Structure 1
Amino acid sequence: MAFPQELLDSLRRAPEDVAFEHGERRVRRGEVLDLVGRFVAGLRAAGVRAGDGVGIATGVTPEGWAAQVAVQTLGARAVGVREGLPAAHLAAVLDGVAAVVTDGSFQLPGVRVLRIGAELLAEYEEPVPCGRPEDLGWVVFTSGSTGAPKGVAYRFDALGEFGIEQRGKTPEGEYRRFLLFGTLSSAVMVLHLQACLLAGGTVVIPAGAPDFPWVLPRLDITAALVTVPRLYRMLDVLRREQVDLSRLRALTVAGSPVEPGLLAEGFERIGSSLRQGYGQTETGKLTVLYRGDVAEHPEAIASVGLPCDGVSVEVRDAAGRAVPAGVSGEVFVRAARAFAGYWGDSASSRSVLVDGWVRTQDIGRLDERGFLYLTGRARDVVIVNAVIHYTGPIERVLASHREVDQAYVVAVPDERTGEAAHAFVVAAPGCVPDPVRLREAVAAELGEGAVPASVTVVGEVPVAESGKPDKGALRGMVVRGA
């Protein structure tokens, strides 16, 4: 079945049921299908053809999602455009894009803009999927902290696999009301949105920023996603207030591993609806840890769970050989829904896609029951609010400043953001580095998300026995408050 045929069929089956609840609006499934058909007609009239790239720069709205599905129905490539990108990153995201659909004031020289309104939605065309399985249907860009955003590209056949994954496997009522917020350029959000619609549920978009945990009972939410920092803030509230979460069926925490003690507290205070998920933009969901798993195997509280159906996990040594249970190595995964490669970056694609497997670049081990334990990263990154930022580019920006001789960045757990970047710099001769100016330089080059939480000037950097800078010692300095 060609993607997004299954989604279109699900909208047709119950046209009077509410698909989206957007503040005070109620948008029925038949109305969403009509929106998709009008976008198909408007985009075709605007010259969009199969194989074209079309940016989606909209708010979190039914129209924004319908525009993305219409692009994919035409066999074109939907490209998520995240708000607030630096100009250089935005240009990289829109490289090769024929047009951008927007509901705001988006503009960029040389890029054709199609604004959502009466003109674009004037006609209707029955939506019939045109994409071939081997064509690219979706590109989701990473944060850009490597110096330029990486475009994670999915083929249409992989997009169809996400629907197959959900069919018949979602407990009844779990997706009755799914909370959607943030951005439509988030792969995990959009995939859960689509899972909700396939399950016959309603996608609930709050009028403003969601106030966890109170938003859950107030909007009668049964399924939601949260980052690790948001879970920690929820626990802060639940320690002092009673919040009725009895109708919640699935609260998935993702983005980075949860500290085992806090996860145990979450299971106690929130209940069996809480689960920890591990996955990547390149692969989708890989493993899940449920409260029942921990009840049966208490030691699994330190893991990220068991592989999902259709996912194979191997831990390999530096030579690429699988290692036995209990031995650490790099985590490799295989799934039919994995990405096809990085847009316009064949070298990075070849390094990550290996004989049908995806190198996660995470370090971990499997136990004898198949639980996966993450123990480190093969890549030097910091995950801030579930967004990956590479430390190397941050170090290069700092070290290139005239006041700095050396720069080192480490990732340290943070209750507010999951992890935070902390920088240590050695002054250039005769200079006194100003941390404010250094943080401004990082923001200008890499965006606000990459800015270190602290910049500490040191006389010298501790050195490990290997002769390399001892980042473990630097992390210890942060933890001790040095």
Structure 2
Amino acid sequence: MTEQFPGAVLDLLDAAGDRTVFEHDGREVSGRQLLGMTRRVAAALRRHGLGPGHPVALLLGVGPEAFAAVIAAYTVGARVVGVRPGMTDHQQAALLRDAEVTVAITDRAGGPDGADARPTGVVLQLDELLATPDDGTRPRVSGRPQDVARLIHTSGSTGVPKACVQTYAAMTAAWALRPEDWPPAVRELAGRLDRFLVFGTLASQVMLEYGLLALAAGGVLVAADPPDLPGALVRHRATASVITVGRLNRLVTGLRSAPADLGTLRALMVSGSPLEPGRARAAAEVLGPVVFHGYGQTETGMISMATPADPPGSLGVPPVDLEVWDPSGRPVPAGTEGEIFVRTPSQGSGYWGQSGLGDEVFVDGWVRTRDLGSLDAQGRLWLSGRTRDVVIVDANVYYTGPVERLLARHPAVTEAYVVAVPDDATGEAVHAFVVPTAGRVPALDELRALVTARLGEACAPTRLTLIDEVPLTAAGKPDKRRLTSGS
């Protein structure tokens, strides 16, 4: 029987031996040393009574100790919840409450920010866990196939965050640690990951996935602190990193006015939101053939990936089961737009505590992406829109409903409608269309402050348009397409 995740990661570290696999703050950490850190943290977690099914929140950065803590949590079979930096206390508290977290591991001084954001239970400091004696044996992998390995939160903007469930079986089936099954685009990318720049938190889905791919390809993880661009790429002689559409736009603009030596750079993986063809061409002109455009979702993992050789705007040939369906649920011919349904090896199995919502997305073994697109005659995937009402800011998905409800509570607002608009800095941003209260004129700054305080700055409108009334569809629902088209 195949050993469950993260058994293959432990094998990679063991095989690396004295080879450097991680660089951080002037330190070079070998596979042997990183495996030792993982052993110590796993032993400490077991001494605290943690094992299969125990909920553990990870509030961690990107150093080698953080990586060891992430892998150790999976080694003992815990139900892992990664907490990304930058969340408001309200968002973090909702996330921890929703996931029923009783234990948190942190490398942040003082632990979780804000009293309201602390889990109900124990906060474990990573440096104390690392003080556990190392017995030198290979850690025992305790996760069972059917156990929940992690809850991945798709949005921090709702009152109760939506957490996608991924089992240990799904994580074991993921493509990153199986070189023999890498599709052509991933194989090409893997060959460029000699020095992969990591930032933010290694507990995140995207950073961990590409980090494991880099290790499987024989590369080194290089922690960026601070993660400024292009400075971090230059300082660390990075060959690859992950980037959002907004950061890519800022990088290209900055390099036009202040060129930097990016001679080592071979791959930037753009993820999180669509990359407009003109922006892709501009990036290629400035950076060369280094941009890979990944398409995936929290619920599915990677769906498809465009290499620098693919036409700008396309997402390459999907290596997974993918069909484009019409509204009646029937596949449509090549070149015809429809809703995209997929099946991937590592897809989720529902939403934590929200079975009804899962029934709408996980359909007879397929995942309903709620994205619109088409396949061309060569099998390449092209996206054309979304069926769901969201804004994707810096690769994070935010539902518009909570923003609209909050804006409508402002005394100068009678009705509020929110749409996504392209934004050079963040990929997409919030545009609010507001029906003002009689005799009042709402100010953008006031509305931004209201939303920022409750939902975070990413959800705050960057543009405001005052309207007399909202246009309606034939079914009597708000017609947001007509709002954005001005008709």
TM more than 0.5: yes
Aligned to 1:307: 318
- Bigger shift: residues 464-473 or 266-275: 464-473
- RMSD of Structure 2 on Structure 1 (CA): 2.2
Aligned to 1:116: 126
C-alpha distance in structure 2 between counterparts of 1:323 and 1:219, whole Å:
47
- Bigger shift: residues 428-437 or 331-340: 428-437
- CA shift at 1:244, angstroms? 3.7
Per-residue CA deviation, residues 308-331 of structure 1 (Å, 9 max, x unaligned), is: 3xx111111112111111111111
- Bigger shift: residues 462-471 or 48-57: 462-471
C-alpha distance in structure 1 between counterparts of 2:372 and 2:191, whole Å:
36
Percent of aligned positions that are identical: 44
Q: Cα gap change, 1:119/1:3 in structure 2, threshold over 3 Å: closer, same or farther?
A: closer
- Partner of residue 386 from structure 1, selected from 387, 391, 395: 395
Q: Cα gap change, 1:16/1:366 in structure 2, threshold over 3 Å: closer, same or farther?
A: same
- CA shift at 1:120, angstroms? 5.3
- Partner of residue 223 from structure 1, selected from 231, 240, 247: 240
C-alpha distance in structure 2 between counterparts of 1:13 and 1:224, whole Å:
24
Aligned to 1:298: none
Aligned to 1:100: 104
- Structure 2 residue runs without a partner (length 5+): 113-117
Aligned to 1:297: none
**Are 1:157 and 2:160 an aligned pair?**
no
Q: How does 1:193-272 map to 2 (within 5 A)?
A: 193-212=211-230, 214-272=231-289
Aligned to 1:145: 157
- Bigger shift: residues 360-369 or 118-127: 118-127
Whether contact under 8 Å (2:407, 2:451) holds in the other structure is: yes
- CA shift at 1:142, angstroms? 2.2
Whether contact under 8 Å (1:35, 1:121) holds in the other structure is: no
Q: How does 1:79-478 map to 2 (within 5 A)?
A: 79-95=81-97, 96-104=100-108, 105-107=110-112, 108=118, 110-118=120-128, 121-125=131-135, 126=137, 127-163=139-175, 166-168=178-180, 169=182, 170-171=187-188, 173-212=191-230, 214-294=231-311, 301-308=312-319, 311-462=320-471, 468-476=477-485
- CA shift at 1:439, angstroms? 2.2
Whether contact under 8 Å (1:147, 1:446) holds in the other structure is: no
C-alpha distance in structure 2 between counterparts of 1:279 and 1:246, whole Å:
29
C-alpha distance in structure 2 between counterparts of 1:41 and 1:114, whole Å:
13
The letter of the residue matching 1:78 is V
- Bigger shift: residues 124-133 or 346-355: 124-133
Aligned to 1:37: 39
Aligned to 2:78: 76
Q: Cα gap change, 1:421/1:13 in structure 2, threshold over 3 Å: closer, same or farther?
A: same
Whether contact under 8 Å (1:181, 1:210) holds in the other structure is: no
The letter of the residue matching 2:446 is R
Q: How many residues align?
A: 469
Whether contact under 8 Å (1:77, 1:139) holds in the other structure is: yes
Q: Cα gap change, 1:320/1:430 in structure 2, threshold over 3 Å: closer, same or farther?
A: same
Question: TM-score, normalised on structure 1?
Answer: 0.91
The letter of the residue matching 2:202 is L
- Bigger shift: residues 31-40 or 218-227: 218-227
Question: TM-score, normalised on structure 2?
Answer: 0.90
Whether contact under 8 Å (1:462, 1:470) holds in the other structure is: yes
Q: Cα gap change, 1:135/1:464 in structure 2, threshold over 3 Å: closer, same or farther?
A: closer
Q: Cα gap change, 1:260/1:191 in structure 2, threshold over 3 Å: closer, same or farther?
A: same
Q: Cα gap change, 1:21/1:73 in structure 2, threshold over 3 Å: closer, same or farther?
A: same
C-alpha distance in structure 2 between counterparts of 1:351 and 1:405, whole Å:
32
Whether contact under 8 Å (1:179, 1:224) holds in the other structure is: yes
C-alpha distance in structure 1 between counterparts of 2:19 and 2:197, whole Å:
17
C-alpha distance in structure 2 between counterparts of 1:476 and 1:152, whole Å:
34
- CA shift at 1:287, angstroms? 1.1
- Bigger shift: residues 42-51 or 438-447: 438-447
C-alpha distance in structure 2 between counterparts of 1:388 and 1:312, whole Å:
24
- Structure 1 residue runs without a partner (length 5+): 295-300
Whether contact under 8 Å (1:365, 1:372) holds in the other structure is: yes
Aligned to 2:59: 57
- CA shift at 1:470, angstroms? 4.1
